[in-house]
Structure 1
Amino acid sequence: MCLLSCQNTTESEQELIGKAEIEQQDDLGEILNKNKLTVLAENSATSYFIYKGHKMGLEYEILNEFAKEIGVKLEVKVVKDLDEITTMLNEGKGDLIACHYTVTKDRKRKIDFSLPILRSAQVLVQKKPRDWRSRRKKDWEKEIIRDPAELSRKEVHIWKNSSYYDRLVNLQNELGDTIVLKPLSGDVIPEDAIEMVNKEFIQYTVVDDNVAKINQRYYPDIDTELEISVKQKIAFGVRKSSPLLRKKLNAWLVDFMKSSTFNYIKHKYLNISTYTSRSKSNYSSIGGSKISPYDKIIKRVSEKYAWDWRLISALIYQESQFRLNQQSWAGAYGLMQFMPSVGPTFGVYPDSPPSVQIDGGIRKITKNYKEWESIPDSTQRVKFAFATYNAGIGHVLDAQRLTKKYGKDPLVWDDNVELFIQKLSEPKYYHDPVCYYGYMRGSETYNYVESIFIRYTEYKTAFPEEDE
């Protein structure tokens, strides 16, 4: 379809049209080229949270399957203020929105949406009478709201820029009476508002039924039975300038939502209480401030050697997932996965306590970091150090020499040395005269460094320090 007159279009106009088409078609290609899909999410059980260093959440697990399908890494940016999430998407700070986002006409003017992954009615959240356990339900129900008309003249605290707020405005018109709406800012997510009702800081709020069900298992004293809307579509937000990403995601969702994997993910978060408990655990980015049982040790030892404890935590998770007695097929052991020939050099043995293992591991990382004094940028230098920790300095030096030979920058890991370390599994490259250490599975080292830094970014947003 030609929107402008094809015969009368000037050469410059044709160039502009062609440029716009290229930009529009480049959205999915860019994600594939950078090997990363970035998701803007809220810190919640329905969206995304971290439990004992492990990434979880209903929408996270769905999108992680999609990322695997298109062959890229999934990076999550936790958005503290949901009022900013659409702007952040349109500014290119993320590729998708995943925050249990309701499809509305107003939002569709600003962004596009995927196919709906869930449908959910909005429900009123209120506190049950304190003695409800000792009474019959039909008796204590008389003391709470069971008809939307009873919301007249009641104060309801609710996120201002939400579909919940819009629904209550419409409900006022339907009732012909006033509901006293108390706006909440975007940094108070629905799960926070539910907790505020539970603690009796506020009397009423409105959330999606799915969110209410998950949280009611954790807060049994709240009531969420009153529906105030029809079931609405919940979907992923997509930039209007990303039609290929949306098309690819939708085509995948058509089949994925028929799969047992999708049904299990939904069942796991909406019906199994174990996962709700995890989201509220002290080791959760929602309910607590701990990444692992070893946080105190990691913080103390990291400070001793001037490392960010969250970066070290990301490294330890990559190595052992915080399993103290972890042992690999190759014989690597412990939290930091020392090889038997290396561990004793740093005073670390399979039966060493966590403090000794972590101290030894950070001393080795520090040694690797010092080996790369030639790297001027500190972040790039850390990546060289981590690659060395994983593969040994010899293979990284081979990749660096190949990088220089083929005209790239040997002092930069990103998009330079990381490209050639992946080629060290190909005879053409590991037989090159500049390579002294032979074959290696370079993709493993590439993924190792990439995964640690993606996890580090997520840890920083989920567990911020006071000075950030």
Structure 2
Amino acid sequence: MLKTKNGILRLFIVTSCLFLAACSSEKIDSRKKPLDAHDFDLPGIYKRGSLVVLAENSSTSFFIYKGKKMGFEYEILKEFAEELGVTLEVKIVNNLDEINDILNRGEGDIVACNYTVTRERRAEINFSTPFLQTNQVLIQRKSSPETADQKVSFISDPIQLANKKVVVWEKSSYYTRLIHLQDEIGDTIQIRPTQSQEGVEELIEQVSNGVIDYTVAEKNIAEINDRFYDNLDVSLPISFKQNVAFGLNKKSPILQKRLNIWLSKFMNREAFSYIKRKYFEQIRGSIAGDVNFKSRRGTISPFDAILKAEGIKHNIDWRLVAALIYHESKFNPNARAFGGAYGLMQFMPGTGPKFGVYPTSPPEVQIQGGYKYLTRITKLWVGIKDEEERNKFILASYNAGSGHILDAQRLAEKQGLNPHIWNDNVEKMVMNLGKHAYYTDEVVKSGAFRGNICIRYVRGITSRYETYKTLVKR
């Protein structure tokens, strides 16, 4: 396993992620009856009281992180829905080859999947005012003395792609770009097409794991995913900048006009700048720096007294909670991270207040709220009798949100693995939740999830917990 970067999205993207506002999400039912003509466009949206977004499960479009629904495009459209005075409904489309057809059948109002504007797509659907510009970059493993794969050539110029195998989605703008790039370099690129079910983020992970050597992605997607892996290089552009916009049905001119007017104003507001920074700028560490405290025999943190008292009260080993806090914030009560997570235990904005914890709460209140939250999570896993195993499920749920871990447990049982054992059983299914064949399984309720981060999280805290147990008695 590769070591997680400092300040990584404690997912994911993102990670994750991830989870609840006044909206609902569901998978597309391809048998759904199309809308009548009068149900298209803005009047139909007002009639039903909801704006239906067709999204992909990805770090830029829509994902669930620690129980919170997130995504760059999701947050923009949530603001737009509020402007219209309707609720936002997200429908996950697992086969992007079909997304334009689904839109044109009237099963959604807007496409949000980091959609680049191309002539081919304009022939089928309309587009909004572009809200982002990005170019395509090559995804490859880094070349350095420590990480270089000696069997794979590091590409520093697009011309070096001659006779190299590059794996991309067949109906994507990446595929089209590589076709044109062949003409530009005057040689053949071995373009291996995949179906849309194998998403770009899954291909990026395959590059990191050495399954494939090269793929292509938009720079914004590449930079988000680069935070999850230490061994990727995403620096080589292979195209000019392209517009990214929302897709709309050609029968929705009123909605298109209203969205364009709103977007033109919204993109000049601080709210848009904040959302953009939140997803596309690196967030490393906390805004106030780490607390300079070194564990020594007999002590772990500046908060040992309150950790012990609350541990007794909730019947949770305080040393495990200390290990969790170190991983989350390094004992910094002022820490801030991705998605607005804050404090010692990195509560999400939608979760902390439920347990009486706010960004300005003192450390004692943060810890008390954290124990209450852990107690609630523990109740989900009372069926796991072995304490050591149960702790792993608790930690995984704290990081990923219980929904994703319950999905992994159901998948494990379906695959004939032990649903009450973490290592080599449920852990395997957590890793597979980022793969189309698994996150589209009928037993999965919370969608795709980038499992490698969660697995490292559990391993890291479990290891530190063992160290803390040698330092102090329970």
Match of 1:186 in 2: 196
- Aligned pair in 2 of structure 1 residues 71, 210: CA closer, same or farther (>3 Å)? same
370, 376, 400: which one aligns with 1:354:
376
355, 358, 361: which one aligns with 1:325:
355
- Aligned pair in 2 of structure 1 residues 180, 27: CA closer, same or farther (>3 Å)? same
Q: Does 1:265 align with 2:275?
A: yes
Match of 2:65 in 1: 51
- Aligned pair in 2 of structure 1 residues 25, 31: CA closer, same or farther (>3 Å)? closer
Match of 2:109 in 1: 95
Q: Does 1:227 align with 2:204?
A: no
Q: 1:24, 1:242 within 8 Å by CA — same for their partners in 2?
A: no
- Aligned pair in 2 of structure 1 residues 324, 152: CA closer, same or farther (>3 Å)? same
Q: Secondary structure at the match of 2:123?
A: helix
2: CA distance, partners of 1:466 / 1:231? 40
2: CA distance, partners of 1:351 / 1:62? 30
1: CA distance, partners of 2:39 / 2:260? 16
Residue type of the partner of 2:84?
Answer: I
Residue type of the partner of 2:355?
Answer: N
Equivalences for residues 67-86 of structure 1 within 5 A: 67-86=81-100
Equivalences for residues 144-159 of structure 1 within 5 A: 144-159=154-169
Q: 1:24, 1:243 within 8 Å by CA — same for their partners in 2?
A: no
2: CA distance, partners of 1:274 / 1:463? 32
Match of 1:246 in 2: 256
Cα deviation digits, residues 8-67 of structure 1 (max 9, x gap): xxxxxxxxxxxxxx9579610110111100111111111110112211010000000000
2: CA distance, partners of 1:149 / 1:202? 19
35, 41, 46: which one aligns with 2:55:
41
Cα deviation digits, residues 89-115 of structure 1 (max 9, x gap): 111111111000000000000000001
Q: 1:25, 1:243 within 8 Å by CA — same for their partners in 2?
A: no
Equivalences for residues 378-397 of structure 1 within 5 A: none
2: CA distance, partners of 1:28 / 1:351? 42
Structure 2 gap segments, 5+ residues each:
1-35, 286-349, 358-371, 382-437, 446-474
Equivalences for residues 304-319 of structure 1 within 5 A: none
- Aligned-CA RMSD value: 3.1
- Aligned pair in 2 of structure 1 residues 351, 231: CA closer, same or farther (>3 Å)? closer
Count how many residue pairs are aligned between Structure 1 and Structure 2.
Answer: 274
1: CA distance, partners of 2:64 / 2:238? 32
Residue type of the partner of 1:126?
Answer: Q
Greater Cα radius of gyration, structure 1 or 2: 1
2: CA distance, partners of 1:143 / 1:321? 46
Q: 1:217, 1:273 within 8 Å by CA — same for their partners in 2?
A: no
Match of 2:443 in 1: 466
Q: Does 1:237 align with 2:271?
A: no
1: CA distance, partners of 2:373 / 2:68? 25
Q: 1:116, 1:235 within 8 Å by CA — same for their partners in 2?
A: yes
Normalized against structure 1, the TM-score is what?
Answer: 0.54
Structure 1 gap segments, 5+ residues each:
1-21, 276-319, 328-349, 360-460
Cα deviation digits, residues 148-171 of structure 1 (max 9, x gap): 111011100000000010000011
Q: 1:324, 1:354 within 8 Å by CA — same for their partners in 2?
A: no
2: CA distance, partners of 1:157 / 1:75? 33
Give structure 1 regions of 4+ aligned residues with deviation exceeding 2 angstroms: 22-26, 129-133, 272-275, 320-327, 350-359, 461-468
Q: Does 1:195 align with 2:195?
A: no
How far apart are 1:325 and its partner, in Å? 3.5
102, 109, 123: which one aligns with 2:123:
109
Q: Secondary structure at the match of 2:280?
A: helix
Residue type of the partner of 1:176?
Answer: G
Bigger RCO (CA 8 Å, 6+ sep): 2
Q: Name the structure with the higher helix share.
A: 1
2: CA distance, partners of 1:91 / 1:154? 39
How far apart are 1:80 and its partner, in Å? 1.1
Q: 1:168, 1:179 within 8 Å by CA — same for their partners in 2?
A: yes
